[in-house]
Structure 1
Amino acid sequence: MKKILIIEDNTSLAKELKELLNRNGYNSMISDGGDYKSLINENTVDLILLDINLPHESGFEICSYVKSTIQIPVIILTGRNANIDEVMGLSLGADDYIKKPYHAGVLLARIKRLLTVENTENIKNYRGISLDIRKNKITYSSKEIFITKTEALILDYLIDRPEEVVSRVELIEFLWDNQSFVDDNTLSVNVSRLRKKLESIGIENIIKTVPKQGYVV
């Protein structure tokens, strides 16, 4: 059973989320952020639901710590709906950003996407790039880098369709099921962040933008 850590200081909302997750087959824990490090160290946490406005550390600080130390998917779930907050969260490595009030079906679909590896093939190879979809790891010219689950899914989807232009709408629907619940910035930030990580190990211009159409590798 997958274990989800809910970091939320609103007690009633945290309990509501816990009940929702437990009803849908997950094992969940609640923290207001003060003890999240010990909970992660003492438990096998598969995913974190993270608020931004917390009493001990901000959700941004927690996201930065998690993504710099361990490879756990993070979904930011917050009432802060400014674009700058979403860009900040995604730039720090969050795999998804959902605004409150949340839609239960959408939240569960996003969680399922991040916890389920759709590909039966573990390793994908393309132009010298080795993508380990299960470990979210890229190897190139003896260099390795870890990426987020969303970034891994984007790269995996594109390299499965070499030289084929994939529209933004198609990518959004693949990644988040229903584009009506996704801000257009979310895809742009994820692609930009993925490109920078690829460039850091010498992979340049692998993901090209086709104006008014989408992306192609």
Structure 2
Amino acid sequence: MSLSILIVEDELSIAETLIYACQAEKIQTTHVSLGQQALDITLKQSFDMIILDIGLPDMTGFDVCKRLRHFCNTPILFLTARNHEVDRILGLEIGADDYVTKPFSPREVVARIKAIQRRLQPLPEHSPNGFQLDEHGSRIYYQQQLLHLTRYEYLLLKSMILQPHRVFSRATLMDSIWQSSEDSTDRTVDTHIKTLRQKLREISTLHDLPERELIVTHRGMGYSLLR
């Protein structure tokens, strides 16, 4: 199946060059010039990747990326004229998957698109409730969407996926996941479970799934996946 790419770029000459390079590789493209247009279209249509310029007329690409990450886990490749390390770091920290500075070779951009797709392609083990675990890549998918998890969120959810019928006590989770018990408390585990639930809830809402907590609290005992 052909990849579908959203190009968010206000310089028409650059956009046309990217469109031509993508189409030469049988990659379908949609082009918009404004950040708000990108937000609007991604609410209605799904893409395999977003190529996002940082210097947009109505808002920065950083702002677009932050807002996209509230409801969309689509891989993002930043385009920018900036070459400052702090900008590259910021872009990656807020959810981008790669970063290309202008001027660039269109063929390089296409190569990066393919590399990101290979890297993010799930090698899943299926588990209950729509989860897919890729231990090799340290990634977890829910409803075929990549979950953007912190290290501890990933390890918590991985433990439950591998043993879906087990109820994990807080002490067990702390001992197996945190390197030192001094670094964690019952409250720490609860906080990470709360953020995990929120991320799962956002994807469930996006897919119009019934409201339910996939991570179940067992009073006085701990947590487990919904059975």
TM-score bracket for the superposition, by shorter chain length: 0.5 to 0.7
CA deviation vs aligned residue, 1:101-124 (integer Å, no higher than 9, x gap): 112332112101222368784139
Report the alpha carbon displacement of residue 22 of structure 1 after superposing the two structures with TM.
1.0
Aligned partners of 2:60 and 2:120: how far apart in 1? 33
Q: Using a 3 Å threshold, how does the CA distance of structure 1 residues 204 and 89 change in structure 2: closer, same or farther?
A: farther
Q: Counterpart of 2:100 in 1: which secondary structure?
A: strand
Q: Deviations over 1:174-214 (max 9, x none)?
A: xxxxxxxxxxxxxxxxxxxx7xx113457446xxxxxxxxx
Counterparts in 2 of 1:14 and 1:120: CA distance versus 1, 3 Å: closer
Q: Is the 8 A contact 1:122 1:133 kept in 2?
A: no
Task: Write the letter of the residue equivalent to 1:16.
Answer: T
Which residue matches 2:65?
63
SS of residue matched to 1:44: coil
Q: Normalising by the residue count of structure 2, what TM-score does the alignment of the two structures yield? A: 0.57
- Amino acid aligned to 1:54: L
Residue correspondences, number: 148
Residue range with higher mean Cα deviation, 31-40 or 75-84: 31-40
Give the distance between the partners of 2:59 and 2:120, measured in 1 at CA.
Answer: 34
Question: Which segments of 5 or more consecutive residues in structure 1 lack a partner in the other structure?
Answer: 140-144, 148-193, 206-217
| CA deviations over 1:96-146 (Å, ceiling 9, x no partner) | 011111123321121012223687841399xxxx43789x4279xxxxx81
CA gap of 1:4–1:133, structure 2 versus 1, over 3 A, is farther
**Paired residue secondary structure (1:80):** coil
SS in 2 for 1:69: coil
Match of 1:41 in 2: 43
- Corresponding residue for 2:115? 113
- TM-aligned CA distance change 1:50 to 1:118, over 3 Å: closer
Q: 2:28 is matched with which residue? A: 27
Partner SS, residue 116 of structure 1:
helix
Counterparts in 2 of 1:100-139, with a 5 A limit?
100-116=102-118, 121-123=123-125, 130-131=133-134, 136-137=139-140
Q: Is the 8 A contact 1:123 1:133 kept in 2?
A: no
Distance 2:178 2:140 in 1: 17
Partner of 1:10 in structure 2? 11
Q: CA RMSD in A?
A: 3.1
Instruction: Give how far 1:13 is off.
Output: 0.8
SS at match of 1:13: helix
> Hey, what does 1:162 align to over in structure 2?
none
Kindly state the Cα deviation for residue 31 of structure 1 after the two structures are TM-superposed: 0.9
Return the match for 1:53 from 52, 55, 64. Answer: 55
Greater Rg over alpha carbons, structure:
2
Report if aligned partners of 2:21, 2:107 keep a CA contact under 8 Å in 1: no
Q: Which runs of 4+ in 1 moved over 3 A?
A: 116-121, 130-134, 200-205
Q: TM-score, normalised by structure 1?
A: 0.59
3-state SS of 1:110 partner: helix
Q: 90, 99, 113: which one pairs with 2:101?
A: 99
Task: Give 5+ residue unaligned stretches, structure 2.
Answer: 128-132, 157-173, 180-227
Q: Is the 8 A contact 1:4 1:48 kept in 2?
A: yes
